[in-house]
Structure 1
Amino acid sequence: MNVHFESDVLDYQTLRAMAYATYGGAEPGEVLVTAERIDTTRPGEWYAEWSRTAERVLGVAEDAAESGNRRTARGAYFRAHNYFRTAEFFLSPDDERRPSTYERSVEAFRAGAGKLPRPPERLSVPYEGGSLPGYLFLPHRGTRAAGANDERGRTDGTNETGTAAPPFPTVVCIGGFDSICEELYFACGVPEALARGYAVVCFEGPGQGAPLREDGLSARPDWEHVVGPVLDALGPRPELDADRFALIGLSFGGYYAPRAAAFDDRVAACVAFDHMHDLYRAAASESPRAAAIFQRVPDTVINAVATLGERVSAESRWLMDNGRWVFGVESAAEYMRTIQEYSLTGVAGDIDCPTLVLAGEDDHFVSVDLAREFADEVGEPATLRVFETASGAGEHCQSGNLSMACSVIYDWLDDALEQTTGRRPGHDRGH
C-alpha cells in the first residue's frame, strides 16, 4: 500500500499517523496535505511540516476548549498529539528539539484525555527504585456503547441499569521499538476495548517513552521483570479482575508481551500485534547473506558498513540512531549483538495461555514465515491470523485497517477470556 512517498519508511510513518483516524487521532485530509508539503530532498521538512500541522490543530483545540466545546477540543487535542509525535519521530536522540516536541505531544494527549466522559487515571508503577508511567482507562459509568444490543449480547461492560459493573477484565497494552504509551490509546483501539467492557492500562517500560527520554532506561530482553511490577500494582485494585489480565503487545511489543506471558501465569491471554518473536532474524530477513557475513567479520567492518549506510539511506540512519538509543549501545556491531538477545526461540513453548499471533502479508519489518514459526512453537494455545493485502490490513500492525484488526483482537479476547475463566468481559451472550 502506498500513501504518498516513494521511501518505505516515510510512507509507512505517514500511514501510521493516518491510521489513528479510526479512533479520533487523525484526519486523513490533515495527514495528506501535510505529506504533500514535504520535499524529501530537503532535510528537516518532515519535522517542520508535521509541527506546522500540529500547531494549527492545537490552536483549534485551545479555541474550542476556551469556548466550552469539549468534544471538539478533545478531538483536536488528540490529533495534535499524534502530529507532534510524528514530527518528533525522525529527530536524532540528541536533537535539542526532541524533548520539547515530545512534551507537547504528551501534553496534548493529556488535555484531550481529560475531556473524555471518564478521564483516565495516571499511574506511577514502582519499578527498581523508580517508577514507570502509564494510564488506567475504565469503562464510562452509565453509558451504553453503540451496538451493545447486537446478536452477541450486551458488551458495553454495564449491568441492566446501565451502570458500570466492575470488576473489569483488563487489557494491558505494551508498545514497541519507537512508540509512546499515549499512542497506544489509538493503536490498540482503547475506545473499542472500553465499549466492550474492558479496563485498559497503557504503560511504558525501559527503552520506551519517558523512561528512555527522561530516566535514560534502555531496553532489556527479560520483560517479565517489567510486566510483573505492573501486574503487582494492578492486582489488588477492586475494580479490576485479576483473573482476567490480558496483554496486547504492539510491534516490538509482540516480543515483550509473549515474553512476559511465558514467565508469568497471571497473564490469562496474550496478543502479539504484530508478532516480533526474533528481532535479529526479522532484521536479517531482507539480506540473509549479508547478515551471515556480518557474523564472521570484525566489528570495525560492521561499523564502517553501517556508517556508509547511514550516509546514503534515511531509513538506515533512523534505524541505527534509534537502535543505539533504545538499546543503550554505541556501535552498529554492539547493536547487532544486542538484538540477538531478543528472541523467543526456546521460550515460546512455555506460553500456556491463549495467544493470538497477528501478521500482515505486506509487513516490511517481519515476515509471515516467522509468524508461522512462532505460532508453531507456542503450539496448541496459539491462533495465527494473517491479514491479506486485499483487506487493506496487510501492513505492519494492520495500519491500513485498524478497525478490522481491533475487531479481530477483541472478538478473540472475548472468547479467550470466556474459555479461560468462564466469564465474558461484559455480560453473557444474548440470542
Structure 2
Amino acid sequence: MNVHFEDTTFDYQTLRAMSYATYGGAEPGECLTTVENIGEGNFEEWFTEWRRTADRVAETARDALDGEHHETARGAFFRAHNYYRTAEFFLDSDDPRRRPTYERSRETFRSALDLLDNPVEQVEIPYEDTTLPGYWFSPETGGDDGDDSSEQSCPTVVCLGGFDSIAEELYFLCGVPSALSRGYSCLVFDGPGQGAPLRVAGLRARPDWEAVVGPVLDFLEGKSAVDETRIALLGASMGGYYAPRAAAFDERVSACIAFDHCFDLWSASAHGQERIAELIDYAPGVVVNALAELGARFDPGARWQLQNSSWVFGTDAASLRRTLREYSLRDVADRITCPTLALAGEDDHLIPLPLVYEFVDAVSGPTTLRVFTAEEGAGEHCQLGNLSLAHGEIYDWLDERFSDV
C-alpha cells in the first residue's frame, strides 16, 4: 500500500499517522496536506511540516475549549497529539527539539482525556527503583439505578508497545475505545526503552520483559475491578515479542495477542540477506560501523534504524548484532501455555511473514493465526491501513476466549 512517498519508511510513517483516524486521532486531509510539503527522505522538512500541522490543530483545540465546545476540542487535541508524535519521530535522540515536542504530544493527549465522558486515571507503576507511567481506562459500567458499579470486576487488556512507540499512541494502535465498548478495562504504559522512561529517565530496552510485566500485573492485583482470571497481554509491533516473552514466565497471563508477531529480531533483520548477514556477523566491529554509517547516508530507513537502535538499545551497529539475538522467543515459546493469537501481514516490511509460522508452531498452548492481505488493506505491519478489521479480529477472539472463563 503506497500513500505518498517512494521511500518505504517515510510512506509507512505517513500511513501510521493516518490510520489513527479510526478513533479520531487523525484526519486524512490534514495528513496528506502535510506530507505534500515534505521532500523524499528529508528529515528536517518532516519535523517542520508535522510540527506546523500539530501547532495549528492544537490551537483549534484550545479555541474550542475556550468556547466550551468540548467534543470539538477533544478531537483536535487527539489529532494534535498524533501529529506531535509524528513530528518527533525522526529527530535524533539528542536533538534539543525532541523532548519539548514529545512533551507537547503528551500534554495534548492528556487534554483530550480530560474531555472524555468516562474518567481516565494516570498511573505510576512501581518498577525496580522507579515507576513506569501509564493510563488506566475503565469501561462505563454504571447502571440505571444510579449505583456506582465501578468496582465490578471485568476482563482487562494490558497494552504493550514496541521499538518506537509511546504509551499514548497505544490508545489508537491497540483500539482502546473498541475494548472499552466491549466491557474491557485497559492499561497502557511505557516500559524501559519506550516513551518517558527512555526520554526522561534514560532507561534502555531489555529482553527479559517478564521483569517488566511482572510488576505491572502486581499493580493490577491492587485493583478490585480487575478479574484476575481474565487478563490479556496485547503486544503491538515489537510488543509482539514482549507480550509472549512475559506470558512464557507468568501464569497470571490468561491470553496473549502478538500484534504483529515478533518471533526473532535477528532472523527478521537478516531475512532475504542471510549471506550478507553472515559476512557482517564475522566482520570486525569497525568495519560494521563504517558500513552502517555509509548506508545511513543513502537510505532514510537505515539512518533511522541505526539512530533509534543506538538510543533504545544503547549499542552501536557492531554490538547490535549480539543485542538482536537476545530478542528471540525460540528458547521460551514452548513455555507459553495460555491461548495465543498471532497476527501477521502478508506485506509486512519489518517482520517477514514466514516467521509467524515458526512462532505458532513453537508455542505449546492453543494458537490462532490470522494473516491479513493487501486486498483487505491490512497487509502492512500491525495492519495499519485497516485497524477496524484488525481490532475486530483481536477482540472477537478475546471475547470467545474469555466467555468460557
Q: Give yes or no for TM over 0.5.
A: yes
Given the alignment of the two structures, is residue 321 of structure 1 paired with residue 316 of structure 2, yes or no?
A: no
CA contact (8 A) 1:139 1:164 kept: no
Describe the SS at the equivalent of 1:92. Answer: coil
The residue that corresponds to 2:217 in the other structure is 231
Distance 1:167 1:43, change over 3 A: closer
Q: Which digits, 9 at most, give the CA deviation of each residue in 1:65-111, with x for residues without a partner?
A: 11111111000000000000000000000001000000000000000
Q: How many Å apart are 1:301 and its aligned residue?
A: 1.4
The residue that corresponds to 1:413 in the other structure is 398
Aligned equivalent of 2:369, options 384, 396, 418: 384
Q: Which amino acid aligns with 2:27?
A: E
Q: What is the rounded CA distance, in whole Å, between the counterparts of 1:206 and 1:374 in structure 2?
A: 24
Q: Which digits, 9 at most, give the CA deviation of each residue in 1:203-249, with x for residues without a partner?
A: 01100000000001000000000000000011121111111110000
The residue that corresponds to 1:242 in the other structure is 228
Q: Is there any run of 5+ residues in structure 2 with no aligned partner, and where? A: none
Q: What is the rounded CA distance, in whole Å, between the counterparts of 1:277 and 1:39 in structure 2?
A: 35
Given the alignment of the two structures, is residue 13 of structure 1 paired with residue 37 of structure 2, yes or no?
A: no
Q: TM-score, normalised by structure 2?
A: 0.97
Q: How many Å apart are 1:140 and its aligned residue?
A: 2.1
CA contact (8 A) 2:281 2:321 kept: no
Point out the more displaced range, 37-46 or 49-58: 37-46
Describe the SS at the equivalent of 2:215. Answer: helix
Describe the SS at the equivalent of 1:272. Answer: strand
Aligned equivalent of 1:197, options 149, 174, 183: 183
Describe the SS at the equivalent of 1:256. Answer: helix
Q: How many Å apart are 1:312 and its aligned residue?
A: 1.4
Q: What is the rounded CA distance, in whole Å, between the counterparts of 1:277 and 1:294 in structure 2?
A: 22
Q: Which amino acid aligns with 1:55?
A: D
The residue that corresponds to 1:77 in the other structure is 77
Given the alignment of the two structures, is residue 50 of structure 1 paired with residue 36 of structure 2, yes or no?
A: no
Map 1:118-267 → 2, pairs under 5 A: 118-142=118-142, 166-267=152-253
Describe the SS at the equivalent of 1:295. Answer: helix
Aligned equivalent of 2:344, options 359, 376, 380: 359
Q: How many Å apart are 1:294 and its aligned residue?
A: 1.2
Distance 1:162 1:410, change over 3 A: farther
Q: Which amino acid aligns with 2:251?
A: D
CA contact (8 A) 2:10 2:41 kept: no
Q: Which amino acid aligns with 1:233?
A: F
CA contact (8 A) 2:43 2:91 kept: no
Point out the more displaced range, 386-395 or 287-296: 287-296
Q: How many residues align?
A: 404
Q: What is the rounded CA distance, in whole Å, between the counterparts of 1:180 and 1:42 in structure 2?
A: 23
Q: What is the rounded CA distance, in whole Å, between the counterparts of 1:162 and 1:412 in structure 2?
A: 31
Q: Which digits, 9 at most, give the CA deviation of each residue in 1:258-305, with x for residues without a partner?
A: 000000000000000001110111111142211111122111111111
Q: What is the rounded CA distance, in whole Å, between the counterparts of 1:402 and 1:42 in structure 2?
A: 28
Map 1:259-298 → 2, pairs under 5 A: 259-298=245-284
Distance 1:410 1:312, change over 3 A: same
Q: Which amino acid aligns with 1:203?
A: F
Q: How many Å apart are 1:118 and its aligned residue?
A: 1.1
CA contact (8 A) 2:74 2:112 kept: yes
Distance 1:43 1:324, change over 3 A: closer
Q: Percent identity?
A: 58
Q: Which digits, 9 at most, give the CA deviation of each residue in 1:131-177, with x for residues without a partner?
A: 000000001244xxxxxxxxxxxxxxx79999756211100000000
Describe the SS at the equivalent of 2:11. Answer: helix
The residue that corresponds to 1:106 in the other structure is 106
Map 1:28-39 → 2, pairs under 5 A: 28-39=28-39
Q: How many Å apart are 1:42 and its aligned residue?
A: 4.6
Q: How many Å apart are 1:40 and its aligned residue?
A: 2.5
Q: How many Å apart are 1:115 and its aligned residue?
A: 0.6
CA contact (8 A) 1:141 1:162 kept: no
Describe the SS at the equivalent of 1:263. Answer: coil
CA contact (8 A) 1:171 1:201 kept: yes
CA contact (8 A) 2:335 2:364 kept: no
Distance 1:347 1:185, change over 3 A: same
Q: What is the rounded CA distance, in whole Å, between the counterparts of 2:389 and 2:147 in structure 1?
A: 27
Q: What is the rounded CA distance, in whole Å, between the counterparts of 1:212 and 1:377 in structure 2?
A: 32
Q: What is the rounded CA distance, in whole Å, between the counterparts of 2:325 and 2:157 in structure 1?
A: 29
User: RMSD of the TM alignment (CA)?
Assistant: 1.5
Distance 1:411 1:161, change over 3 A: farther
Q: What is the rounded CA distance, in whole Å, between the counterparts of 1:168 and 1:89 in structure 2?
A: 35
CA contact (8 A) 2:334 2:364 kept: yes
CA contact (8 A) 2:340 2:365 kept: no
CA contact (8 A) 2:65 2:73 kept: yes
Q: What is the rounded CA distance, in whole Å, between the counterparts of 1:376 and 1:229 in structure 2?
A: 29
The residue that corresponds to 1:301 in the other structure is 287
Aligned equivalent of 1:369, options 341, 344, 354: 354
Q: Which amino acid aligns with 1:302?
A: V
